[in-house]
A and B are shown apart, each in its own frame.
Chain A
Amino acid sequence: MTETNSANTAPAQNDRVVRHTLIDRLYHWLMALAVLTLMGTAFLPILGIKFEWITVHWMSGILLAVLVLIHILRAMIWQDWRHMMIWPSDIRDIWRGFVCLFSSTAALPAKPGKYNPLQKLYHLGSAVFVLAIVGTGLVMLLKIDTPFWRRNPYVLSNDTWGWIYALHGLGAMVMITMIIIHVYFALRPDEFYLTKSMFRGWISRKEHQQHHDPEQWRG
C-alpha cells in the first residue's frame, strides 16, 4: 500500500476509538525506557560488559518508582480501574479459550472489553513483580551514597539484606521472561492494531467492533 493510499484509507476522526490518551502513552514509553535501562545496567555487567552502571541504575529506578506511583494514582482516581480487574467471566473465558484449542464444538470465549483476560493476567503479574523490584530497590538505596543521602546499611541485618537482594534479583530475572512475552504479543499481526494504538492513541471503529464488546468498552 502506498503512503497516499494509506492516508486515504485512514479512518476519519469520528471513526476512531480512543484507547490510550497521550499521558498514558507517555507513561508507557517512559516506563519502557526506565525498565530497559534498568535491565541493561543490571544484566550487561553480569554478562561481562563492564561499565559504571550503578548511578544510571539507581536514577532509572527512582524514575520507575515515580512513574509507578503516578500510574497507580491515575488508575485509581481518573481511570476506570475495573477495565483491568480479573472477573469470574475472565477466568471462564481463559478456560473456554484453552478448551477451544482441542474441541471445535466447545463454547467460544466472549469478546473482551478494553483488555482481554490474558492481558489482565499479564498486567497483574507485571504489577506484582515490578512492585517487588521497586520496593526492594528503594530499600537498597540505603546501601549507596548519593547527593541526597548518605549510605546506612546497618539498619537491616545481613540476613534481611540477603533476602532483599534475592527478591530484587529474582524479580529482575522474571522481567526478562515478561519482556519477551510482551514484545512477542506486540509484534503478532493479530495484535498489531493494539501496538499501533500505543503510538497513535486510537483504534478504528471497525477494529473496536471486530475485537471488543462495545457493551463492556464503549470507547
Chain B
Amino acid sequence: MFRYSKSIYGGQEQLIGASWDLIPWFAAAGVAFVVIHLIAAAMSRSGKRVRH
C-alpha cells in the first residue's frame, strides 16, 4: 500500500508515499462499480414502478 526507502547508511525504512501498484486496483474498483450498477439498474427496470 505504501512505498518505503532505506538509507544507504542503514537504519529504519522511511515512508515516501503511496504504492503505485494500486493504480490498477482503483481503476478496477471503478469498473466494478459500473458493472454492479448496470446489473442493479437492469433489475430495477424489470420491476419498474412509477414514483409520485
Interface on A for B, CB 8 Å cutoff?
43, 46-47, 100-102, 104, 108-111, 158-159, 161-163, 165-170, 173-174, 176-181, 184, 188, 190
Please, how many angstroms separate the alpha-carbon atoms of A46 and B44 in the complex? 40
B residues in contact with A180, CB < 8 Å:
27, 30-31, 33-34
B34, A159: Cβ atoms closer than 8 Å: no
Known: A100-B44, A101-B43. A177 touches B15 (CB 8 A): no
How far is B17's CA from A190's CA once the two chains are assembled, in angstroms? 40
For this complex, 13 residue pairs linking A to B, each with C-beta atoms less than 8 Å apart, are A47-B23, A101-B40, A108-B51, A161-B16, A162-B17, A166-B2, A166-B15, A167-B18, A173-B26, A177-B27, A178-B30, A180-B31, A184-B37
Measured in the bound complex, the distance between the Cα atoms of B27 and A204 in whole Å is: 35
Mostly helix, strand, loop or mixed at chain A's interface? helix
Q: Which chain A positions have C-beta within 8 A of B10?
A: none
Q: In the bound complex, how far is the Cα of B17 from the Cα of A161, in angstroms?
A: 8
From residue A49, how far is it (CB to closest CB) to chain B in Å? 13
Instruction: Find A176's partner among B2, B23, B40 (CB 8 Å cutoff).
Output: B23
Q: In this complex, what residue of B is CB-closest to A158?
A: B14
Q: How large is the interface on B (under 10, 10 to 19, 20 to 34, 35 or more residues)?
A: 20 to 34
In the bound complex, residues from chain B placing their C-beta under 8 Å from that of A161 are 16
Q: Which residues of B contact A176 (CB under 8 A)?
A: 23, 26-27, 30
Given pairs A159-B15, A173-B22, 7 additional interface contacts (CB within 8 A): A161-B16, A162-B15, A163-B15, A165-B18, A176-B23, A177-B29, A184-B37
A169 touches B51 (CB 8 A): no
When the two chains form their complex, are residues B30 and A104 in contact, meaning their CB atoms are under 8 A apart? Answer: no
Q: Which residue of A lies closest to B16 (CB)?
A: A162
Q: How far is the CA of A167 from the CA of B23 in the complex (A)?
A: 14
| A167 and chain B: residue at smallest CB distance | B18
Max chain B CB contacts within 10 Å: which of A163, A177, A181? Answer: A177
Cα distance A158–B4 when bound, in Å?
Answer: 12
User: Which chain A residues lie closer than 8 Å to B43 at the CB level?
Assistant: 101-102
When distances are taken between beta carbons in the complex, the residues of chain A under 8 Å from B51 are 108-111
Contact between chains at A104 and B49 (CB < 8 Å): yes
